[in-house]
Amino acid sequence: MGQPNYINGFELTIHEKMITIPLYWKKPRLVFVNSMGDLFHEQVPLDFILEVFRVMQNAWWHRFQILTKRSHRLIELNQSINWPDNVWMGVSVENEDYIFRIDHLRKTGAKLKFLSLEPLLGPIRRLDINYINWVIVGGESGPKARPMDESWVTHVRDLCRSSGVPFFFKQWGGVHRKRSGRILQGRVWDELPKNHE
């Protein structure tokens, strides 16, 4: 990618010098933590994870989003984490095989819990969004993108609407992601968690 931080490709690499950067950003912003990896990867040391959380707590004027597929490790480390109010914790759920991640997320001390149903690769009929503060849905993109059925999306949207949970539709995805857009049944859905906009 032409970025020195990615010189090792997909090999797990810890970038300790990057942790404190948000402390120097004076203007509040939304920060997606470790957008190219997973903070809860089994090989990421606990001390590193706790230091990331300390920095997020000290940088209280920002909002930090963390997304993981490794919900088993998330729940395992939950008691060791001091959960700041400005941290949004989410889990990826691609289809019904992974709804157990939602139960793990619910058991954490995170103040704001969200779901990223992206890429949504199948219907999630047994979706339980109790104690979830935000739901994002999106299709897969790239040259081998698998299609997403509109009924899968509208099922989630309707569940969010009936439960009062903000719903964000990110994209249809596909080979030509931008061309596919993000209009769902005539409108853009870009709701954010209440009191956190």
Tell me the backbone φ, ψ of residue 81, rounded to 5 degrees: -95, 135
Can you tell me the distance from the alpha carbon of 170 to that of 60, in angstroms, rounded to the nearest whole number?
27
Digit-coded pLDDT (tens) for 100-117? 999 999 999 999 999 999
Residue spans of the domains in the chain: they are 32-188
Predicted local distance difference test score (pLDDT) of residue 174: 83
3-class secondary structure, 19 = coil
Predicted local distance difference test score (pLDDT) of residue 85: 97
Can you tell me the distance from the alpha carbon of 78 to that of 94, in angstroms, rounded to the nearest whole number?
23
3-class secondary structure, 159 = helix
| Positions of the chain with pLDDT lower than 70, given as ranges | 1-13, 15, 176, 195-197
Predicted local distance difference test score (pLDDT) of residue 4: 56
Which DSSP string corresponds to 35-58? Answer: TTS-TT-TTS-HHHHHHHHHHHHH
E-only strand ranges, the chain: 30-32, 63-68, 87-92, 112-117, 134-138, 167-171, 183-184, 187-188
Digit-coded pLDDT (tens) for 38-59? 999 999 999 999 999 999 999 9
Predicted local distance difference test score (pLDDT) of residue 180: 79
Q: pTM here?
A: 0.91
3-class secondary structure, 196 = coil
Predicted local distance difference test score (pLDDT) of residue 52: 97
Predicted local distance difference test score (pLDDT) of residue 195: 66
Sign of CA dihedral 181, 99, 146, 123: negative
Can you tell me the distance from the alpha carbon of 30 to that of 27, in angstroms, rounded to the nearest whole number?
10
Predicted local distance difference test score (pLDDT) of residue 7: 53
H or E segment to which residue 136 belongs: strand 134-138
